[in-house]
Amino acid sequence: MGLAFGALLLATILLPGILFRYAYLRSDSLRKTVDFSLLSEAVFVLIPTLILHAFGWGLARLVGPALNLVPDLGVFYRLITGQLLTDAGLLRLERGLIPFILYILLLGAVAGWLGTLVQRWVLRNAWDDHFKLLRIFNDWDKYFTGHSVSGDPRRSFDYVQVDVVVQSGEGDILYTGALANYSLNQEQGIDRIFMEVVYRRRLSDDLRLSETALADLPPANREEDPRYYNMPGDYLVIPFGQIRNLNISYKKFETQAE
């Protein structure tokens, strides 16, 4: 019981570092999570934990006495090592429990905020491209979010267009549309993609066109091209296992001059 509670308490003490790492890896488009099986992940959790506790405990020693909110480290050390507490120790634990919980909660909130701040700083300076420990994106995230686009600052765009060739019983079919979302499997590979404003084109029809038709330039947009069919519905979901080819384009909305 004592060792189990000590392990739980140790995990609680590591919570600020875990929250820092989790916030560093997360955003609206990223799906990578903390993997404790990797040594680099453990280092990235442990180092922020030590730094955060060093500053947090120093601040608690300055501010805590005035508010009577300084946890007793000796009691928690005994709990972590599985030692039994005397009656006096139990009383000290009871008095220090609320300050300890408040300390962990406040430090965890600060850790989450700092993790997000450090992530933005690293991405702005492209340090994740040069240092493996700071890497945030997997390969798919890099391409689908546009992080792979070279340039400093990186080229801005309004949306990501994907052209997907899917094999079917009727032959190869091309789906073109805006990438709305995508999901990853447990191996961090693409599971399925979600498209919107989708146009479908049966590639086998091109083989039956006459040479004259093939020589003519196609219309400038898909709305006027008879080879394309506008798909009804708000979203089209395509399992990645059915995709033969995938083309990714970073697009800006076209503005018409008045």
Per-residue model confidence (pLDDT) at position 227: 78
DSSP string, 65-106: HHHT----HHHHHHHHTTPPP-HHHHHHHHHHHHHHHHHHHH
In this prediction, residue 242 carries a pLDDT of 87
Q: Using an 8 Å Cβ cutoff, are 145 and 159 in contact?
A: no
pLDDT for res 93: 64
Give the 3-state secondary structure of residue 246: strand
Going by C-alpha positions, the residue among 197, 201, 154, 156 that lies closest to residue 179 is 197
Q: State the Cα angle at 133 between 130 and 137, rounded to 5°.
A: 75
pTM of the predicted structure, to 2 decimals: 0.59
Q: Which two tokens stand for residue 173?
A: 């079919």
User: Which of the 8 DSSP states describes residue 195?
Assistant: E
Return the pLDDT at 156.
72
pLDDT tens digit sequence for 63-104: 766 666 666 666 666 666 655 556 665 666 666 677 778 888
| pLDDT computed for residue 220 by the predictor | 52
Res 110: pLDDT: 92
pLDDT of residue 217: 45
What's the pLDDT score for residue 69? 63
Domain 141-251: which CATH class? mainly beta
> Which residues in the chain land under pLDDT 50?
1, 28, 152-154, 212, 217, 257-258
Confidence at residue 152, expressed as pLDDT on a 0 to 100 scale = 44
What is the domain partition of the chain in residue ranges?
2-136, 141-251
At 113 the pLDDT is: 93
Confidence (pLDDT) at 232: 87
pLDDT of residue 221: 63
pLDDT given at position 114: 92
pLDDT of amino acid 35: 55
pLDDT at 111: 92
User: Rounded to whole angstroms, how far apart are CA atoms 219 and 216?
Assistant: 9
Structure tokens at 80: 């972590």
The pLDDT score that the predictor gives to residue 73 is 65
Pairing of strands 236-239, 159-168: unpaired
| Residue 7 CB partners (closer than 8 Å, separation 6+) | none
Q: What is the pLDDT of residue 203?
A: 81
Selection from 2, 185, 141 nearest residue 84 by Cα: 2
Contact call for residues 176 and 198 (beta carbons, < 8 A):
yes
pLDDT of res. 13: 82
